[in-house]
Structures are given as structure tokens and as C-alpha cells.
Amino acid sequence: MLETRVKAAGGSGAVADLPIAVSLSPSARRVIRVIAAAVVGGQVIGTVAALWLAVAYGISMVSLIIFFIMYVWTTLSVTVGFHRHFSHRSFRTSRWMRGMFVIGGSMAFQGPLVYWVSTHRRHHQFSDAPGDPHSPHLHGGSWREWWRGFWHSHTGWLFAPDITNAPRFVPDILSDPYIFRMQQRYMLWALLGLVLPAVVGLLASGTLYGALEGFLWGGPVRLFVVSNVSWAVGSVSHLWGRRPFETHDHSANNFWVSVLAFGEGLQNNHHAFPAAARHAFEWWEPDFSGWVIGHLERLGLIWDLKQPGPSAIENKRRVGLASFAKRSVGQ
């Protein structure tokens, strides 16, 4: 049963009899918390500094372009690469593209690929139930508890006292020597995401101030936006939005999170069909990642896309409507 749920979540060959998480020693816990605090705090401090400088001295067009390109590149590497390709195996692609996904996704400072994918597959397996690493729904019903749940699902879970057990959730990545080696160089790729914007800023302006501005907007400001948008997928899109499919969780299709997170806010669609490469099932549902995936397929850069047909989608929708009608009659 457990194995079936992992497969349904798009995982592969998860080892169901291993523990879900490994508790950390007090010193390891301290190290993880310091790293998490440095990443979250650094983004906030850098963003405040960038805004302060923008108010005092204005902001250059080059910095805004650097911000935009880095935002799109990092977000797509996470949504198309870390999420749809590595976590759910929604499509197949070349070794070169897989390597690029690892580099770009690592620039989001959301942890190495093994950590990211094992945490995400765990989220699908225990979605909004005990064991989910970042559900907003497991903290009680009072207002105070609601806020605690929201904070936990948005950022607090980064400071958890345990870590998802990778051998249970990502045996496929652990046994792939090339991808494993690439993701081990996480710090190199992550720091590259800070150095590159500074270098571009320096070359474009020819001044050290230009380098600082490029670093701030392509680094901390971009990370602040990418992080909050990614965290909103787990917090906001599990609280508010449409639920066209009956799933065993609170996942919802949140329009605005979908716009900013390039389709990842369509959580209800995604939890209903986790392996689907495209998350939008209606023309008006925003899914920029799905649009990019379509183009990558046409260019021959990715192949073997998984996508449910219209009848599978309609059938699942009807199951939801039928059980809703039954509940309404029962009330």
C-alpha cells in the first residue's frame, strides 16, 4: 500500500520499510539551524539593503534585467528540473539537460537535489497528514495554532529537528553516479548564483557599485522572491484556492501562486495527477513551466512526457463531484 502511494506520487522504487526521517544529533541540528537562519536572514538583509540603495540612488535597468533573468532561470530549474523531472519523472531528457537542472536548481539555495527531492516525495506520500514535512494543517484549530501552522509550512519547517531519510525516498538519485556527483557540488553552484550577477553587473557598468547592485538584485533579492514564492506553494496553495479534484489532502489551485511560481500553485491538479508534466488542465490555468516543457519537447530536448488524457481527468473530476453530492445529501 505504502509502495503504491509512493509510486502514485511519482516516486520510484522507494524503500518503504526504512524510517521516514532521521533525527539529528544536537550539534548537527545546530549546524542545520545556523545554515537555514543564514540563508533566510541573508535574503532579508540583502533585500532591505537593495531597497534602501534603490530609494537613495535609484536602480539601474541592468540590475532589473539581471533580477528578472536569474528569477526565471532559477525558478524554471526548480519547477521543471528538481520538481517535475527529478521528483516525479514526468519526462526524460539528456544527461546535459539533467546537469543544467542541477546547476540552476542549486542556485535557488533550497538545498542539494537529494534533500529537495526526498523532502518533496515525502510531502506527496503524507500530504497534510502526520509525516508531511511542511503542512499548515497539523497544528490545531485556534487562531494562534493556525498562525503557527502557517509559519511552519512557509518557513519554520526548514528548522525541523529531523531530516528526511534519503535512502528511503530517493534510491534512484543515490544510485545515479553522475547526478549524485553533480548535486554534491551544491555549494559551488549556489555560490555561482551569487557571483554571476555581480560579474555581469561589473562588466555592464564598469563600476564596483554596478557589481554590488548586480549582486544584490541577482542574489539576495532574487532569492527572497524565489524562496517566498516556492514556500507559498506549500503554505498558501494548501490553504486557499479551487479544488476541482477530490484528493486526500487540502491541496488547492491558487491562481496567483501559479502565476508567480510558474504553474506550481496548481497544487490540487498536481496532487490529483502527480506525474503529469503539465499542471494546467484548463486554458486559463497559469502554468509557465508546462508551456516551457511543451517547447522543450518540440525542440527534441526532452521526451516521453507523462500526461493524463482528457477522459482520465474528467473521470477523476466526476469521482469528486459524486462524493461531494453524497456528502451534501448526508448533511
Q: Which residues bind Zn ion (CB under 5 A)?
A: 251, 267
- For the chain, give the number of residues: 331
The rounded distance, in Å, linking the Cα atoms of 54 and 26 is 41
Nearer to Zn ion, 9 or 196 (CB): 9
- At CA 53, angle to CA 49 and CA 54, rounded to 5? 115
Nearer to Zn ion, 42 or 131 (CB): 131
User: Contact 120/90 with Cβ under 8 angstroms?
Assistant: no
Q: Cell 557599485 sits at which residue?
A: 209
140: burial class by Cβ within 10 Å (0-12, 13-18, 19+)? exposed
Cell of 28: 548537527
Nearer to Zn ion, 132 or 213 (CB): 132
Residue 39, phi then psi, degrees to nearest 5: -65, -50
Nearer to Zn ion, 29 or 151 (CB): 151
Nearer to Zn ion, 21 or 221 (CB): 21
Q: How far is CA 67 from CA 108, 217, 219, in A?
A: 13, 5, 8
Minimum distance between the CB of residue 120 and Zn ion, rounded to whole angstroms? Answer: 6
Q: What letters, b where the CB count within 10 A reaches 16 and e where it falls short, cover 172-206?
A: ebeebeebbebbeebeebbebbbebbbebbbebbe
The rounded distance, in Å, linking the Cα atoms of 16 and 313 is 29
Tell me which residue has its CB nearest to Zn ion: 267
Minimum distance between the CB of residue 73 and Zn ion, rounded to whole angstroms? Answer: 20
Minimum distance between the CB of residue 137 and Zn ion, rounded to whole angstroms? Answer: 11
Nearer to Zn ion, 47 or 267 (CB): 267
Minimum distance between the CB of residue 99 and Zn ion, rounded to whole angstroms? Answer: 22
Nearer to Zn ion, 8 or 28 (CB): 8
Minimum distance between the CB of residue 263 and Zn ion, rounded to whole angstroms? Answer: 11
Question: Which of 93, 124, 100, 156 lies closest to 6 in space, CA to CA?
Answer: 124
Nearer to Zn ion, 227 or 267 (CB): 267
Minimum distance between the CB of residue 270 and Zn ion, rounded to whole angstroms? Answer: 6
Which amino acid, one-letter code, is at 308? P
Minimum distance between the CB of residue 327 and Zn ion, rounded to whole angstroms? Answer: 23
Minimum distance between the CB of residue 49 and Zn ion, rounded to whole angstroms? Answer: 33
Q: How far is CA 224 from CA 134, 140, 230, 314, in A?
A: 19, 29, 10, 38
Minimum distance between the CB of residue 224 and Zn ion, rounded to whole angstroms? Answer: 22
Spell out where 90-202 has E strands. Answer: 92-93, 162-164
Nearer to Zn ion, 118 or 267 (CB): 267
User: Contact 168/9 with Cβ under 8 angstroms?
Assistant: no
